[in-house]
Chains A and B, each alone.
Chain A
Amino acid sequence: MSATLSPAIAGELSIRSLHKEFGGVAAIKDLDLDIRAGEFLCLLGPSGCGKTTLLRMIAGFEEPTAGVIELGSTDLTKMPAHKRPVNTVFQAYALFPHMMVAENVAYGLKQSRTPKKEIGQRVDEALTMVRMREFADRSPGQLSGGQQQRVALARALVNRPKVLLLDEPMSALDRKLREEMQVELKLLQKRLGITFIFVTHDQEEALAMSDRIVVMYDGCIQQIGSAEEVYTRPANSFVAGFIGKQNFVEAVVVSDDGGALRLRSVNNTTILPEPNAAGDPGATGRPVPSVGDTVRVAIRPETLRLRVADGVPSAPNAVRGRIAGVSFLGDVVQYVLLIGEDTEILSRVPRSDAVPLPTDEDVLIEWDGADVAVYCDEG
């Protein structure tokens, strides 16, 4: 009990060779992960990627097929869920319908036989913290989704867990409320200093809140990094495609001059990625393509520059195309560009930049070598 009562010393989790199978099908494949004390970590990936399974194994709801989960120096692997110093905010909140809000929040403290007076004090603080103090005597059924979520948060945090697990807690909220809660949650985490592990399939949510993002796919970690790192330096084409909008083009390596690749795309455009820049394969430990290999080239829509075509491009990193569609997305304008007959790419430019170009206009599309990423994988 003293452990859970001690000041919010956040947990440091280390996960080693974790493996989980359901009926012979692997959901988590030999996964290693270190989670730093007090960080806000997002597990991001499409549904079925194993992120929720990983979270449930940390919570203790699923037993790993193999591997170890340690919190600080404590081995959690075989510890039953109710003994772990972690708490969870569930996707559907899972508030106890037969208890008032205050009783819900007090539930965890009662299990640890906290003195009655202290329970009252801490429940009061927790409810005040999530701005639900005046709803203490309501039943969960009388609350809105957002209110229920705050109660669920208070119910978990009141126990001062070393690690707080959040399983897509925002998925039932409308967009505006979700954005408010993201800010609130992030601030709360900063103040409390508790390790947050947040599961989501929503990349914007992950980018907005996380100290680090773990991108998962098919039971494996694809990349671990800050929001900026996974966005600007995706480790592979899956991450590149999953996070943000991306233009993928297939190209062949024409020459390799000491790391300076020269690529030719299917429609004969020459692409020169900048060596040792964002997309440099060697820089992030990815395999380096050799001459003659087919690679996938990724260029973000917002890094493309457009101007009215005044001839055939002479320099590399440029191609001529035609505007097939224009759409306004609030603060940016998105162009759908057609290169040749069937290659479509996206371009996004800030709205204030210039007068939007009309449809059917022939344009010259240019980019910097530094914004080109090259992947050898299949994607």
Chain B
Amino acid sequence: MTSRFRKFLGDSALSFPTWAYMLFFFALPVALVMWYSFGFKPDQFTTHSMEQLSLGRYREVVSPTFLSVFTATLRISIVGTLACLVIAVPFAYWLAVKVPPGRRGLLLALVLVPFWTNFLVRTLGWQIILSPDGFVSEALQGIGLLGSPLDILYSRAAVQIGVIYNYLPLMILPLFVAMDSAGVQLREASADLGAGKWRTFFQVTLPLATPGVVSGCLLVFIPLTGDYITASVLGGANGTMIGQLVANQFQNAQNWALGSAMAVVLMLFTLAVVVVTALLALVVKAIIRYVGRVELPTGQHAGTDAGTAADLPEGSRVRQAEPAVSGTTTGGPHA
């Protein structure tokens, strides 16, 4: 018992940085937020009180305003994640497969350059780009693509563009790593077996990059759903995201109880979306696997039971075509 306890202590001592980090920067804050969500704001001078626990804040959360903003947020984050995926897959493929390894470092650095800039500054840049008086608007009008000034700043479309831009690198990096690790050998093997570029991509490269796709989607979807800076800077009345409501409760209304309840609901919904998507993905995978399965003749295999195989018209044709094969199996080089 003592030794086991000591062993436990010893092991945990080694991993101290990991669990301490998880405890202090993840578990405790989340637990606090959950705890506060059962409290209330007693007066203007207090952010929260835990003297009376209730689910009242959750009832307040489920207001029509919250739900409509929530639906909008979900739409922005799902569309954003899918768009990032659609953009990142060909790019990561190109980077991992087509670009000579010597030049990849530079291109990856270029992908990351925006990350060296403050998130807010990057987003503000888009305010200028998307402005009706901005250069994009003027250029599009100049070449006749637009009849009137660009009208997307302070709208959901602007938020959508902003989040795609802001989170794209988080999709590209894991996808690139995944596609790179699949390796040129397997793609050559696929080509050798008769698959063209597209078939190789869909049957070999992409399936092998699935872990990268999954982590990329999570890395994009989760922070994107909670983002409020992009929406505050680029969104108008109809680009509001749930993160703004949460931030508003904590910062302006100073109602930590309601803000916490909103945050918890947001977390649970994010989790639910991830779980549902994961289940769907598993179902799709199972279907693909089922459709693509190889059914070998049952019972004794053809080679050892020549009689059974010969009865099958297909089999007999194959057999005639290549008598040597069955010869090998019955005779067997090592028989």
Contacts and interface: CB of A to CB of B under 8 A. Distances in A.
Interface string A174-190: 00000010011001100
Given A116-B295, A117-B314, A125-B303, A82 B325 contact: no
Interface in A98-145: 98, 100, 102-103, 105-108, 110-112, 115-129, 131, 133, 136
Contact of A108 (B194, B207, B328, B333): B194
Given A8-B324, A120-B294, A124-B301, A159 B194 contact: yes
Nearest to A60: B191
Nearest to B295: A120
B322 A7 contact: yes
A5 B121 CA distance: 62
Given A7-B322, A81-B188, A129-B328, A124 B296 contact: yes
Contacts of A60: 191-192
Contact of B333 (A88, A97, A133, A184): A184
A68 interface: no
Interface residues of B, number: 44
A188 B192 contact: no
Given A94-B188, A188-B333, A82 B194 contact: yes
Contact of A112 (B186, B194, B293, B332): B194
Contacts of B334: 131, 180, 184
Contacts of B309: 121
Interface string B283-307: 0000000001111110001111000
A238 interface: no
Interface string B179-197: 0000001101111111110
B324 A192 contact: yes
A129 B303 contact: yes
A125 B191 contact: no
A121 B322 contact: no
B314 A87 contact: no
B132 interface: no
B204 interface: yes
A124 B297 contact: yes
Contacts of A88: 188-189, 192
A187 B194 contact: no
Contacts of A159: 193-194
A320 interface: no
Contacts of B315: 121
A9 to B, nearest CB: 11
B290 to A, nearest CB: 12
B329 to A, nearest CB: 4
B189 A94 contact: yes
Nearest to B189: A94
Contacts of A87: 192-193
A78 interface: no
Nearest to B320: A7
A97 B208 contact: yes
A92 B185 contact: yes
Contacts, number: 146
B207 A98 contact: yes
B194 A133 contact: no
Contacts of A97: 208
B303 A128 contact: yes
B325 A126 contact: yes
B279 interface: no
Given A82-B195, A125-B318, A94 B185 contact: yes
A155 interface: yes
Given A6-B321, A112-B194, A187 B333 contact: yes
B326 interface: yes
Contacts of A264: none
B294 A94 contact: no
B194 A111 contact: yes
Nearest to A94: B189
Contacts of B296: 102, 120, 123-124, 127, 133, 136
Nearest to A134: B301
B327 interface: yes
A328 interface: no
Q: Which of the listed residues A5, A128, A133 has the most CB atoms from chain B within 10 Å of its own CB?
A: A128
B13 to A, nearest CB: 35
A87 B321 CA distance: 19
B312 interface: yes
A180 B190 CA distance: 28
A178 B329 CA distance: 20
A121 B312 contact: yes
A77 to B, nearest CB: 16
A95 to B, nearest CB: 8
A108 B193 CA distance: 5
B325 A192 contact: yes
Given A92-B185, A94-B186, A82 B318 contact: no
Nearest to B194: A111
A81 B297 contact: no
Nearest to A123: B294
B230 to A, nearest CB: 36
B199 A111 contact: yes
Contact of A128 (B207, B208, B301): B301
A302 to B, nearest CB: 30
Interface in A57-111: 59-61, 80-83, 86-88, 90, 92, 94-98, 100, 102-103, 105-108, 110-111
A162 interface: no
Nearest to A59: B192
B312 to A, nearest CB: 7
A189 B325 CA distance: 11
A121 B297 contact: yes
A51 interface: no
A118 B318 contact: yes
A86 B192 CA distance: 7
Given A59-B192, A94-B185, A187-B333, 12 more contacts: A60-B191, A61-B191, A81-B192, A87-B193, A90-B189, A107-B193, A108-B194, A116-B295, A120-B296, A125-B326, A129-B303, A180-B334
14 contacts: A7-B321, A60-B191, A60-B192, A82-B191, A82-B195, A82-B200, A90-B188, A90-B189, A96-B186, A112-B194, A124-B296, A125-B322, A133-B296, A187-B328
Closest 4 pairs (CB-CB, A-B): A128-B303, A111-B194, A108-B193, A94-B189
Interface of A: 5-8, 59-61, 80-83, 86-88, 90, 92, 94-98, 100, 102-103, 105-108, 110-112, 115-129, 131, 133, 136, 155-156, 159-160, 180, 183-184, 187-188, 191-193
